[in-house]
Amino acid sequence: MDIKRDILKRVYLMYGFFLLFGIAILVQVFRIQVVQGQYWIAMAESQTLAYKNIDALRGNIFADDGSLLATSLPTYEIRMDLKAEALTDDVFKKGIDSLAIELSNLFKDKSAREYKLELERARKAGERYHLIKRRVTYLELKKLREFPIFRKGRYKGGFLYVQKNERARPFKILAARTIGYDREGQKPVGLEGAYDKVLRGTSGKRLMQKIAGGVWMPVNDENEVEPEDGADLYTSIDINIQDVAEHALMKQLIKHNSDHGCVVLMEVETGLVKAIANLSRNPDGTYSENYNYAIGESTEPGSTFKLISLVAAMEDGYLDLDDSVDTQGGQVQFYDRVMKDSHEGGYGKISVQRVFEVSSNVGTSKLIQKFYGKNPQQFIDRIYKFNIHKPLDLEISGEAAPRIKKPKDKDWYGTTLPWMSIGYESRLTPLQILTFYNAIANNGKMIKPIFVKEIRKHGRLIKKMPVQVISESICSKETVKKAQKMLEGVVENGTASNLKNATYKIAGKTGTAQIANDKYGYKYESKVSYQASFCGYFPADNPKYSCIVVVNAPSNNVYYGNLVAGPIFKEIADKVYATNLKIHPPLSIEKNLAVTPISKNGSKEDLLVVLNKLNVKAHGRVNENWVKTNAKENEIEIQNLTITSGVIPNVIGMSLKDAVYILENKGLLVKVVGKGVIKNQSIPPGQSVQKGNIIILELA
Amino acid sequence: MNWFANIKGDRVIWVIVILLSVVSMLAVYSSISTLAYKSGTGNQMSILIKHGITVFLGLVIMYYVHKLKFTYYSRIAQIAFWLSIPLLVLTLIIGTNLNDASRWLVVPGLGISFQTSDLAKVALIMYVARMLSKKQNQIKDFKSAFLPIILPIIIICTLILPANFSTAALLFAVCFILMYVGRVNLKYLGAMIGIGIIGILLIILVGKYAPDLVPRFGTWVSRIENFSSGNSEGNYQANQAKIAIATGGITGKGPGNSTQRNFLPHPYSDFVYAFIIEEYGIFGAFGILSLYMLLLFRTIKIVTKSENTFGGLLALGCGLLLVLQAFINMAVSVGLFPVTGQPLPLVSKGGTSILFTGIAIGIILSVSRSIEEDKKGGKFETA
């Protein structure tokens, strides 16, 4: 069979060709592995890959009203891989002009030409991680993704971005230390630290390649594992009160050239901290939030402790408000030490209530020494029942533990009990004292201060923080009533009478302590160092908020609690009271309380809403949106106020809000002088409008 | 178990197919782990299962194809050939644009997309085998033998060419070898090579001055330019493949330990050979290559045994198609050829490729089965 033999011959020839082909392939494999091996292996090492963590978007910290206290702003670093595998010359040349124009239009930092030249140079240099722009916002990123070339993505367009999260506190200093921070390599502080796990979320993963210069470049378009956002913290901080607290404290600290101070305002029933400010003086004389004194600094509290002493004695049944004590000549000796009242000459024989109101050291210490001198342990036991010897165990770390001495302790002397009774020889933080005062305001129920109300994620509730009760009742209701009466007395006719006001009642206690400095004892910078404080609550009849103010080392010779700390308390309390309609007692409505009010000209709708609410009759037939008013005896007469287009209207007698609206809508620029009702306008009514002209309104 | 009893044809080829399928599963499993990492939700499993089903379907098709007596394929060849021409034209016009190349046609109703060139390949091989065997008596003649054989080849290849240069070239090469084996006049074959070169030059000219007519032209040029210039920065894929091979060493990094899969754009298809070397080393390289050499050898064995020219050429054509494609894929992976995008038959992931590969092997086995049965039946005497 010739044909078959011929065919087979050709087939074997062909097979020989395939054998050679196969050998060539194996030889090439061998060449790559052995001959060029070093080269390729070195190249492999240079392109190390690793999955890098991509930080999740950290949760926000919100104030009570939803204002942002701390937030993470994602910013993006835009890079371009100019040697992207599928970024051909064709694609590059076709898109580069429009890309350069778009980039220039978006960032406005370089001209389109500069961008073009830069990218062309980078492409020539073969840059695989060329920086286009740092700190680009998400909105900008979205636009960038639509740009020519870039819209082709990572492989075809060389478009790369790396997300970086930046933490920002929109309210800057406000509650800064309590919000805190969580930075790498530093001890976490405040709520950021306490709730780090909640806020942090789960990090994602992204495959990155190490390229020349030790930079890591993402390999793919997207993250391999998307990070999961952290949850949000809804704190109890009321940003308005916080603002007042911070500024009131700052003002007083500057005025008295104090070293540092703190303020805490707490909701009586829930323990929610509405404001917490901590300020200390920097070497350059400015003040800022550097340390959380309210939580971390325990000092001898001074006279605010007298409440604890007297409540203990009353709870043990030794004492009533009407009992009297002889304050002698303002001086009493215990062993080798003399106890003095700040008021020279003493107060003579006065009631317990009065002892507290004038903050008599002699009276208080004599009483406590009398009842507990033989058995100081009983006093300590009673105080322990108030739970003030234990730390509050706050969410935020760094709480200083309280120190209440026991008779067994080595440093318990014969003089310890009397001095302890007036607030020395013990150590408490401002927040621990406040917690006790709050319990008195809350009829004996002791509540733990908390800063966070809820944890939410994307608005969905994850956890609601419960009210945490330390003790249902630290003392009997009768004792609470007595304590409240004493505290009210301090403001009514005692050391804090400067806080008294007609609108609402404040209850509280001043404190002025000489403070011991760790190094210098009771003298600091060769002077006696003081701590002025005021702790109390309001409105006294129906306590809603408790507050403590502590100012440390006021150095301008004024160091009394009522004068240094009191005004801060008052300012905050005023603000809280003024903005919180719920705690206002209802007014008794009297007939004909006021005559018909005078109202400004302006928007008809606005006016009618207000008048309606106030039950004031309005009369007049109007069909325009703008009206003039005229107060009559029993009603307000309203008339049309015609606004003709192109003509300057008469805005005299109008409210500024409406006048600006009308005038600026006509294209005029409004400048304002003074306040009140508009009395004069610089361009008289009836003139034709020249757009862009300035019209000056005088208010009085 | 009915099935095993019914498995006929060359057992060695069966074993080769099974072995390659196993390699395919391993390679796909390992190379898609990057994708799975991405989602972390068992996506890997679903990709693997899908691939497994495709491989199994390929085997099933192979089984049924081999059950059919090969002489029927002479008739089927005609139908398939005339069917593939309009399909290819249709693909060129409305085909799904994947990577700028209209290669895919979506089957209406089913939503399955398939590469029409895969069908055309098998159809053309069958048709050429048929024509060659029919014209054996006047094979050296130009008008009565050469023209009727070469025209279908030119038609099909030209229709595939605009969308897929490498497949057209591969198919042409297989047909060319087949014609050579089928004793076509060497004069004409030589002339054809000359015309082919002129044709390629023509395409290049058209591509340069009317790039819209040949949309893939830019890719071809850049691939070949990159390849011939050896530009180390530009030839990213090829370099990554070489790194894979170099770091694989003699025994490889072991299954699932590839690092280059993150850099190779298609570790489970175009560069699967480099990927296999990375994980299984020189042993893997040699093993895979040997399997294809063996497949070709067994096919030749069938040709030697075949008493029927059509059967012999049909089996050889199908074998050549697979093995040449495999060699080209391997040559691309090791950097002997410019990047083409030819999958490794039976190994690479890819639906239609595996299914038509099943058909091709099924045909080989069908021829082999007939030989076995003829022997038993003693219808013909052995040569």
Q: Can you give the pLDDT at residue B382?
A: 38
Smallest Cβ–Cβ distance between B246 and the set A41, A155, A205 belongs to: A41
CATH number at residue A252: 3.40.710.10
- Compute the distance between CA of residue A352 and CA of residue B206 in angstroms, rounded to an integer: 112
**Shared-domain flag, residues A100 and A175:** yes
What is the CB neighbour count within 10 angstroms for residue A471? Answer: 15
- Contact in structure between B343 and B51 (CB atoms under 8 Å): no
| pLDDT of A460 above 60 | yes
- The answer to whether the bond into B265 is cis (omega within 30° of 0) is no
- Judge contact between B278 and B251, C-beta under 8 A: no
Pairing of strands A635-640, A669-673: unpaired
Q: Which of B33, B34, B37, B38 to mutate to test the interface with A (most CBs of A within 10 A)?
A: B38
**Nearest Cβ partner of B243 from A24, A44, A90?**
A44
Tokens of A125: 């240099």
Total tally of structural domains belonging to chain A = 4
| CA–CA min distance A21, chain B (Å) | 8
Considering the domain architecture, whether residues A666 and A550 belong to the same structural domain is answered as no
- Between A and B, how many CB-CB pairs are < 8 A? 122
Find the helix or strand (DSSP H, E) in which A167 lies.
Answer: strand A159-168
Do A341 and A228 lie in one domain? The reply is no
Tell me, yes or no, whether A261 lies in a domain.
yes
Domain CATH code at residue A688: 3.30.10.20
CB A557 within 8 A of CB A501: no
The encoded tokens of residue A11 equal 């087939």
What are the angstrom distances between the C-alpha of B80 and each of A393, B68, B171? 83, 16, 16
- Is the separation of the CB atoms in A166 and A94 below 8 Å? no
The predicted-structure confidence for A69-121, as pLDDT tens digits, reads as follows 988 888 888 989 888 777 888 888 888 999 999 999 999 888 999 999 999 99
CA-based end-to-end distance of chain B: 35
C-alpha torsion A605→A609→A611→A616, nearest 10: 110
Per-residue pLDDT at A266: 95
- Taking an 8 Å cut-off on Cβ atoms, the answer to whether A40 and B245 are in contact is yes
> Which pLDDT tens digit goes with each residue over A276-313?
999 999 998 899 988 999 999 998 999 999 999 999 99
Whether residues A225 and A270 share a domain: the answer is: no
* Contact criterion met (CB < 8 Å) for B242 and A32: yes
Residues of chain B in contact with residue A41, where contact means CB-CB under 8 angstroms, are 243, 246-247
Assess whether pLDDT exceeds 80 at residue A184: no
SS3 A285: coil
**Mapping DSSP to helix (H, G, I), strand (E, B) and coil, where does residue A228 land?**
strand
What's the pLDDT score for residue B272? Answer: 86
Among A534, A561, A583, the domain-final residue is: A583
For residue A265, name the pLDDT band (cuts at 50, 70, 90): very high
Quote the CA–CA distance of A244 and A253 in Å, as a whole number: 14
Do residues A380 and A419 share a domain? yes
Query: Are residues A515 and A403 part of one domain?
Result: yes
CB contact under 8 Å between B218 and A90, yes or no, is yes
Every domain of chain B and the residues it spans = 10-376
Contact A126 B233 (CB under 8 A): yes
Highest mean pLDDT (candidates A367-376, A524-533, A591-600): A367-376
Helices B272-305/B351-377 angle, 10° precision: 20
At residue A344, does pLDDT exceed 70? Answer: yes
Q: Residues A348, A291: one domain? A: yes
pLDDT band at A685 (very low <50, low <70, confident <90, very high): confident
CB < 8 Å to A11, chain B: 181, 300, 303-304, 316
Give the domain range for residue A322: 241-583
CA distances in angstroms from A160 to A77, A485, B34, listed in the order given: 8, 70, 19
In SS3 terms, chain B reads as CHHHHHCCCCHHHHHHHHHHHHHHHHHHHHHCHHHHHHHCCCHHHHHHHHHHHHHHHHHHHHHHHHHCCCCHHHHHHHHHHHHHHHHHHHHHHHCEEECCEEEEEECCCCCCEEEHHHHHHHHHHHHHHHHHHHCHHHCCCHHHHHHHHHHHHHHHHHHHCCCCHHHHHHHHHHHHHHHHHCCCCHHHHHHHHHHHHHHHHHHHHHHHHCCCCCCCHHHHHHHHHHHHHCCCCCCHHHHHHHHHHHHHCCCCCCCCCCCHHHCCCCCCCCCHHHHHHHHHHHHHHHHHHHHHHHHHHHHHHHHHHCCCHHHHHHHHHHHHHHHHHHHHHHHHHCCCCCCCCCCCCCCCCCHHHHHHHHHHHHHHHHHHHHHHHHHHHCCCCCC
User: How much is the average pLDDT of A21-25?
Assistant: 92
Query: Does the pLDDT value for residue A211 go beyond 70?
Result: no
Tokens 């190994």, residue?
A: B347
Is there a single domain that holds both residue A262 and residue A331? yes
For residues A217 and A110, membership in a common domain is answered with yes
To the nearest whole percent, how much of chain A has pLDDT over 70? 95
User: Does A157 fall in a domain?
Assistant: yes
Whether A17 is in a domain gets the answer no
Residue B210, judged by CB atoms within 10 A of its CB (0-12, 13-18, 19+), counts as exposed
Closest partner CB to A18 (pick from B246, B293, B303): B293
* DSSP for residue A35: I
Q: What residue in B sits closest to A25 (Cα-Cα)?
A: B331
Looking at A193, A216, A234, which one is the last position of a domain? A234
Q: End-to-end CA distance of chain A: give it in Å, rounded.
A: 125
Residue A23 lies in a domain: no
Instruction: Tell me if A11 is assigned to some domain.
Output: no
Same domain flag for A527 and A469: yes
| DSSP letter assigned to residue A25 | H
Which whole number is the average pLDDT over A556-574?
84
Asked whether residue A498 is domain-assigned, the answer is: yes
3-state secondary structure of A74: strand
A49 touches chain B (CB under 8 A): yes
Q: Any idea what DSSP says for residue A57?
A: P
Report residues of chain B scoring pLDDT below 50: 1, 35-36, 38-41, 99-100, 231-234, 378-383
Which two structure tokens, joined as six digits, stand for A76?
Answer: 């993006």
Largest CA distance in chain B: 64
Q: What is the tens place of the pLDDT at every residue in B215-269?
A: 666 666 666 666 655 544 446 778 888 888 888 888 888 887 777 777 776 677 7
Judge whether A145 lies within some domain.
yes
pLDDT, residue B36, reads 47
Structural domain ending residue among the three candidates A541, A558, A583: A583
A7, A28, A51: residue with CB nearest B183: A7
Neighbour-count burial for A114-152, b at 16+ CB within 10 Å, e otherwise: ebbebbeebbeeebbbbebbeebeeebeeebeebbbbeb
The average pLDDT across A208-216 equals 66
Cα distance between residue B365 and residue B302, in whole Å: 9
Looking at the domain assignment, is residue A364 inside a domain? yes
Tell me which residue in B40, B181, B289 faces A11 most closely, judged by beta carbons: B181
Collapse the DSSP code of A576 into the 3-class scheme (helix H, G, I; strand E, B; otherwise coil) and give the result: helix
Residue of chain A minimizing CA distance to B316:
A11
Does A411 have pLDDT greater than 60?
yes
Rounded CA Rg of chain B: 21
Interface check for A126 against chain B (CB to CB < 8 A): the answer is yes
- Coil, strand, or helix at residue A352? helix
User: What pLDDT shows up at residue B226?
Assistant: 60
In 3D space, the residue among A622, A624, A630 whose CA is nearest the CA of residue A644 turns out to be A624
Predicted confidence at residue A384, as pLDDT, reads 94
